[in-house]
Amino acid sequence: MIEPVFFYAALIISIGAFLAILRILLGPTVPDRVVGVDTLNTLVVAGMVLLGAAYDRTIYIDIAIVYALLSYIGTLIVARYLQGGLK
Amino acid sequence: MREDMGLIVKTTARAIIPLIGIFGAYIVMHGHLTPGGGFQGGATIAGAGILFLVAFGLDEMKKHYNKSLYSVLEGVGGLAFLGAAMLGMGVAFFYNTLWHNGPFFNGEPGTLLSAGFLPIMNLAVGLKVFTGLVSALTAIALYRRWKS
């Protein structure tokens, strides 16, 4: 049973993700791009949950949880590099 | 320069590291039922180790990291995989004798204790990937000479 409303919501999420990608491409400084990637991670998690609901598969939610946890670590590592903690 | 990150990051890491570990163990154990398996779960648990290394710094990691133990565990993971593959050697290599006539791991398909030697192999691969990735990342973090 495929609900079309979840696909519409995922489409809106993908428009937001496109805007975040635009910020990553255009961002004048590095922290701008980091914030863009962080936003994109959150939007991807939202899109994964919505598509898991759209295709009616509960096991797809697991992948969204893993992505949310690992994207946090990735952002943290970039932030640590930018603050100069690796000297 | 400070070795670890701030108080918020450290407290968050204390809360999240067990969560990542338990979820990675869930992925490894349910490798034959849900998406994921040995490599994915092992890489997820290694993410917890990397979070520990990043949040608490290298000095704290040196206290909790044992090179010999991690090397031995990586070898044990490979040997357990090979041992599970050798179980049905009377018929063929990689013969799933636990599933066909084994004492355990031969339950109803779709339950946790099914699929023969696949859970054992998933655990072995998860252990190997976790210890290997943590060892590699710690070795890279220990290499701290920027000039020559």
Structure-block tokens of residue A9: 């919501």
Flag whether pLDDT at B72 surpasses 90: yes
Q: Is the pLDDT of residue A18 over 80?
A: yes
Residues of A in contact with B40 (CB under 8 A): 66
Residue A56 has pLDDT above 50, yes or no: yes
- Better-predicted residue by pLDDT, A27 or B45: B45
Q: Give yes or no for a contact between A61 and A52, defined as CB atoms under 8 angstroms apart.
A: yes
Mutation target to probe the A interface, by most A beta carbons within 10 A, among B8, B34, B39 is: B34
Mean pLDDT of B76-103: 82
Position B88 pLDDT exceeds 80: no
> If you measure CA to CA, which chain A residue comes closest to B20?
A69
Q: What average pLDDT does the structure give for chain A?
A: 88
Q: Which residues of B74-88 are buried (b: 16+ CB within 10 A; e: fewer)?
A: beebeebbeebbebb
Share of chain B above pLDDT 70, in %: 95
pLDDT band of residue B37 (cuts 50, 70, 90) is confident
Which residue in the set B34, B44, B47 is minimally distant from A59, CB to CB? B34
What confidence score (pLDDT) does residue A82 get?
86
Write down the pLDDT at residue B38: 85
Q: Are B128 and B81 a contacting pair, CB within 8 Å?
A: yes
Task: Compare all CA atoms of chain B with the CA of A65 and give the residue at the minimum distance.
Answer: B23
Q: Average pLDDT in the A23-35 region?
A: 90
Chain A nearest C-alpha distance from B54 (Å): 7
Q: Where residue B147 falls among pLDDT bands split at 50, 70, 90?
A: low
What is the DSSP-derived secondary structure letter of residue B143?
Answer: -
Q: Evaluate if residue A4 carries a pLDDT over 70.
A: yes
Q: Which of A62, A69, A76 sits opposite B54 (nearest CB)?
A: A76
d(CA A37, CA A74): 10
Work out the average pLDDT over B69-84: 90
Nearest-CA neighbor of B137 among B34, B30, B24, B61? B61
Quote the distance between the C-alpha of residue B60 and its chain's center: 21
Q: Average the pLDDT over each of A13-17, A69-73, B3-7, B52-56 and give the range with the smallest value.
A: B3-7
Please judge whether A70 and B5 are an interchain contact, meaning their C-beta atoms are less than 8 angstroms apart: no
B44 near A CB under 8 A: yes
Residues 86-125 of chain B whose Cβ lies under 8 A from any Cβ of chain A: none
Taking residues B117-121, what's their average pLDDT?
Answer: 87
Name all domains of chain A by residue range, CATH numbers in brackets: 4-83 (1.10.287)
Compare B131 and B5 and report the one with higher pLDDT: B131
pLDDT at B78 over 50: yes
Q: What is the mean pLDDT of chain B?
A: 85
Interface test with B, best of A51, A60, A67, A69 (most B CBs within 10 A): A69
Give the three-class secondary structure for B111.
strand
Q: Given this model, what pLDDT does residue B1 score?
A: 46
Q: Does B19 contact A at CB distance below 8 Å? A: yes
B20 interfacial to chain A (CB closer than 8 Å): yes
* Residue A35 pLDDT: 92
Residue of A nearest to B51 (CA): A73
